[in-house]
Chain A
């Protein structure tokens, strides 16, 4: 039998990456690649799960039955995405239980965006349109990520996210065509969400510490700034169609670049929220922690029952 050295394995891995072949859970992979994937996919899963909370804030107050059902279906999709992503990350040899505990203990990150409050019904429209819109730009690029289970999860998730974004934009459009009060509500929501949404793509390329290796191994397929620009370019016409404005006086089409120019992003705010100092960080985590603790007796009962009867 041929003796395979770790150098051979690494070479084979690099070759696969170079040829755009997918890495599968049973394939050999560098430990750092595994760690990076665990970090990224679990963050993604946690984001889906915690993202249910701001929307839940309006679920019981949704203005119409149709909107209530659509919002509930969206939240249900997100719970499904969470489960799906936890399964994908479990193929890398970590347990969902451990990942979830790290998340509750504040050791794992999730998308900063869910640390902002959903204050009016218009926020639900804007979250669907802009937050899901930004997520899609990122996830479309991740459909080509090098780890097979993650790439396949993205294909499936993107289909549903597209639907969520259309739903969000439909709420915004209804408000834009509504009363002065409704238009004001929409503009206010756009003002509050615009900058945090642009921050969703992460720090500028020059300052992104995980980016280089991630790009080299094709976990990440496009840089933060590239994706941010793509999102802005596709979103501004939608914003104009609504007759709304972005809270950015520098936002302007640049014919030479063929892109929109935009104003400086307040990265201090971004880093503060990352460090747990956003408006809802503590509250969101506390909500999930309390739910987990209060559900312990239910999970215990299910396990005891299964042991007895299965």
Chain B
């Protein structure tokens, strides 16, 4: 059987299809976040940061792996984890655009990680208590790791925001760059909507309120301003419409599977 992922994007009319799309949202967020963090390896501002970013990247890849494994079990089109991780076309990835944005400088990476991990923290806190036992189990395991990501990113955001004039300026600029993309997390995709109706996914309005509360407090404490919100209509999560950055990320990540298809590695 070909490992090329040649199906059209799963439509979200039935509950099963919604669940599959929803699992892709979770898996792809983790995979793409992990992939970006891998780019820091060996070039972080100091060795301790290198170690921490490797650790956080590894957590995300592990989470992605767990979600893909579940998908392989329930999604008839899926043959194995690597087919899902590496053999889909760009429009078949359903991460939010925030995670695919380039790392930029360390401030931009921290801005991405802080905004994402605070969202991810509240999301997984809800999912670990949800009615789907398998999702709850994976979410519970991930939740412990995400607590650390949230703490790590928030601490650095404080240090950079309230450190020196230069770091303050860089941190503010970084937030401005990534800010709009965070809101995609709170715009319900059809899958979010159906999964919420099923009692599995939380109400994203509630998650957004928690997120805003925490982020606003954090920025205030870090002496940073809340950026103006611009375009918030990104729809990678719902429709696979990504930023211009995603194609390059995938070209690199998928290189081996594209160049040498259907082999064992």
What is the interface of chain A, defined by CB distance below 8 A to chain B? 49, 52-53, 55-56, 59-69, 72-73, 75-76, 79-80, 82-83, 86, 121, 171, 174-175, 177-179, 181-182, 287-288, 290-291, 294-302, 304-305, 308
Contacts and interface: CB of A to CB of B under 8 A. Distances in A.
B160 A63 contact: no
Contact of A69 (B39, B65, B159, B256): B65
Contacts of B163: 300-302, 304-305
B258 to A, nearest CB: 10
A179 B160 contact: no
Interface of B: 31, 35, 38-39, 41-51, 54-55, 57-58, 61-62, 64-65, 68, 81-82, 85-86, 105-106, 158-160, 162-164, 166-167, 170, 252-253, 255-257, 260, 263-265
A68 B35 CA distance: 9
Nearest to A307: B163
A296 to B, nearest CB: 8
Contacts of B48: 83
Contacts of B257: 63
A69 B54 CA distance: 10
A52 to B, nearest CB: 4
Given A65-B65, A69-B61, A179-B263, 5 more contacts: A53-B42, A63-B265, A65-B61, A67-B265, A295-B45
A59 B38 contact: yes
A174 B253 CA distance: 20
Please list the 5 inter-chain residue pairs (A to B) with the smallest Cβ-Cβ separation, ordered nearest first.
Answer: A295-B45, A301-B163, A301-B167, A63-B256, A76-B54
A73 B257 CA distance: 21
A83 B82 CA distance: 33
B45 A294 contact: yes
Contacts of B49: 295, 298
Nearest to A177: B264
Contacts of A302: 159, 163
Contact of A298 (B43, B47, B85, B167): B167
A72 B58 contact: yes
A182 B68 contact: no
A171 B39 CA distance: 22
A287 B43 CA distance: 7
B42 A60 contact: no
Nearest to B257: A63
A297 B166 contact: yes
A63 B162 CA distance: 41
A178 B41 contact: no
Given A72-B54, A305-B162, A60 B35 contact: yes
A161 to B, nearest CB: 17
B47 A83 contact: yes
A67 B160 CA distance: 34
A68 B61 contact: yes
Contacts of A291: 42-45
B253 A300 contact: no
Contacts of A55: 41
A33 B157 CA distance: 44
A61 B51 contact: no
A208 to B, nearest CB: 30
Nearest to B37: A72
Given A73-B58, A291-B44, A301 B252 contact: no
A172 B264 CA distance: 12
A178 B265 CA distance: 8
B41 A59 contact: yes
28 contacts: A56-B42, A60-B38, A60-B252, A61-B252, A61-B253, A61-B256, A63-B256, A63-B260, A64-B81, A65-B64, A65-B85, A72-B38, A79-B50, A80-B51, A83-B51, A171-B265, A174-B265, A182-B263, A290-B43, A291-B44, A295-B106, A297-B166, A297-B167, A297-B170, A299-B45, A299-B46, A302-B159, A304-B167
